[in-house]
Structure 1
């Protein structure tokens, strides 16, 4: 897939959350790190508080909470018109949890959602994964 120019790319897993941006063109994308936002103030609870058989595991619940907090951060950025186009790349569990928390306006600016684990990869490899989706 092609990433629109200036589109933001959120990279997430159950522990990390990075925000990148396409500083190039759709034909020649160039991912640039914008920031690794702190989610300390978000305090979102994953799995909407319903019983998830996996949620009895503290580590799993912590990952779901992190995904919910990342979605909350993105919602705020979209509602403040800081993000106008968004690609989200996250492992399947994280992406699934984030989807549950996306605001309708966040859904409206989503260009793509890619369920792949890419945190820890360098920018060029992340770009290859996105372009191959």
Structure 2
């Protein structure tokens, strides 16, 4: 049960807001019904995380801005290797950028021509500890930081 009142669109993804009566008929808060109760959803049925099985992925339209970009991703993993983001063709012969976990380290790679540049961030013990980590990449005309 959540404190407060049912207001427009407080419950996400088709779930319904239901007022819970407290003592004496007063509002005791509300709850969202018809939603998945899991570690991946908030109490208002909003998706907070997505889990992927080995070999699966999610696709989005290609990034349109090639010369300037800011990406921020939060993730948790126990695997020492995995792809977090890839934008480009299906090989490394053309322009691309990727963000991945390699041997427990976060690695950002990009190419706008013939040379591939790799930048890595090292965290003692690695990022494959099951805890949440956030990585931010700023890319500005062939320079990343």
State the TM-score bracket (shorter-chain normalisation): under 0.3
Under a length normalisation based on structure 2, what TM-score does the superposition of the two structures give? 0.24
Query: Could you say which structure has the greater relative contact order, defined with CA pairs below 8 angstroms and 6 or more residues apart?
Result: 1
Which has the higher Rg, Structure 1 or Structure 2? 2
The structure carrying a bigger strand percent of its residues is 2
Q: Normalised by the size of structure 1, how large is the TM-score?
A: 0.25
